[in-house]
Chains A and B, each alone.
Chain A
Amino acid sequence: MRTRNSMRVLAVILMLAVVVTACKPSAGGAAAAAVDQISLEGKNVEVVLWHNRSQSDQDLLQTMLDEFNASNPYGITARAEIAGASYNDVYNKINAAIQAGSPPNIAVAYQNQAAFYRSQDAVIDLSPYINSSKYGLTADDKKDYFAAFLASDANPQFKGETLGFPTQRSLEVMYYNADWLKQLGYDKAPTDWKTWEEAACKASQESGKAGWAFIHEASNFASQIFSRGGRILAEDGQSYVFNSQAGQDTLAMIQRMAANKCLVEIPVSERYGEQNRFANGDVLFVFASSSGMNYYADAVAKAANFKWDIAPLPQTGDLHMNLYGASMSVFKTTPEQQLASWLVIKFLGEKAQTTRWAAKTGYLPVRASAKEDVIAAFKADPKWGPAADSYAKLFDWANAGMVESPVAGYDPVRSLIDTDVMSVVINDPKADVKSLLDTAVTKANAILKENAPQ
Chain B
Amino acid sequence: MCMMAIKVGLARASASLQAYRQLPPVRRKRRLHTIALGYALMAPAVILLLVFEFYPLFSGLWISLTNWRLTRGDFIGLANYTRAFSDPGMWHSLGITFTYSLISVPLQLVLALLLAYLLFQQIKGTQFFRVLYFMPYVTSTVASAAVWAYIFSPDIGLLNRLLEGIGLSGQRWLGESRGILELAFGSLGVQLPGWLAGPSLAMVSLIIYTTWVFVGYDAVLFLSGLSNIPNELYDAAKVDGASGWQLFRYITFPLLSPTTFFVVLITVIGTFKAFNHIYIMTKGGPGDATTTASIYIFNQMVVYNRYGYSAALSFIMFFVILGLTIVQNNVAGKRVVYD
A residues lining the B interface (CB < 8 Å): 92, 95, 98-99, 116, 119-122, 208, 210, 216, 264-265, 267-270, 277, 282, 411-412, 415, 418-420, 423-424, 426-428, 447
Contact B176 A427 (CB under 8 A): yes
B176 to chain A: closest residue by CB: A427
B304 at the A interface (CB under 8 A): yes
Q: A120-B69, A121-B71, A269-B280 are in contact. Are A426 and B286 (CB under 8 A)?
A: yes
For the complex, what is the distance from the CA of A265 to the CA of B299, rounded to whole Å?
23
For the complex, what is the distance from the CA of A98 to the CA of B282, rounded to whole Å?
29
Contact A269 B282 (CB under 8 A): yes
Could you say which of B146, B150, B176, B286 has the most chain A C-beta atoms within 10 Å of its C-beta? B286
B146 to chain A: closest residue by CB: A269
Q: Which of A210, A216, A277 contacts B285 (CB 8 A)?
A: A216
List B contacts of A418 (CB < 8 A): 285
List B contacts of A269 (CB < 8 A): 145-146, 149-150, 174, 280-283
For the complex, what is the distance from the CA of A447 to the CA of B307, rounded to whole Å?
15
B300 to chain A: closest residue by CB: A412
B198 at the A interface (CB under 8 A): no
Shortest distance from the beta carbon of A399 to any chain B beta carbon, whole Å:
33
For the complex, what is the distance from the CA of A122 to the CA of B154, rounded to whole Å?
43
Q: A267-B175, A419-B288, A423-B287 are in contact. Are A412 and B304 (CB under 8 A)?
A: yes
What are 11 residue pairs bridging A and B, where the CB atoms are less than 8 Å apart in the complex?
A95-B302, A116-B70, A265-B175, A269-B150, A269-B174, A269-B280, A419-B284, A427-B175, A427-B176, A427-B177, A447-B304
Q: Which of B71, B176, B177, B287 contacts A98 (CB 8 A)?
A: B71
For the complex, what is the distance from the CA of A427 to the CA of B282, rounded to whole Å?
14
Contact A92 B302 (CB under 8 A): yes
B177 to chain A: closest residue by CB: A427
A265 to chain B: closest residue by CB: B175
Contact A268 B283 (CB under 8 A): yes
B303 at the A interface (CB under 8 A): yes
Shortest distance from the beta carbon of A197 to any chain B beta carbon, whole Å:
20
Q: How many residues from B make CB contacts under 8 Å with A?
A: 33
List A contacts of B283 (CB < 8 A): 268-269
Contact B303 A415 (CB under 8 A): yes
List B contacts of A216 (CB < 8 A): 285
Shortest distance from the beta carbon of A101 to any chain B beta carbon, whole Å:
9
For the complex, what is the distance from the CA of A303 to the CA of B70, rounded to whole Å?
44
Contact B149 A267 (CB under 8 A): yes
B153 at the A interface (CB under 8 A): yes
Contact B155 A95 (CB under 8 A): no
For the complex, what is the distance from the CA of A420 to the CA of B305, rounded to whole Å?
19
Contact A264 B299 (CB under 8 A): no
List 5 additional A-B contacts (Cβ < 8 Å) besides A95-B302, A270-B153. A98-B70, A99-B307, A116-B70, A216-B285, A423-B177
List B contacts of A116 (CB < 8 A): 70, 305
List A contacts of B153 (CB < 8 A): 267, 270
B71 to chain A: closest residue by CB: A120
List B contacts of A121 (CB < 8 A): 71
**B126-182 interface (Cβ within 8 A of A):** 145-146, 149-150, 152-156, 172, 174-178
B304 to chain A: closest residue by CB: A412
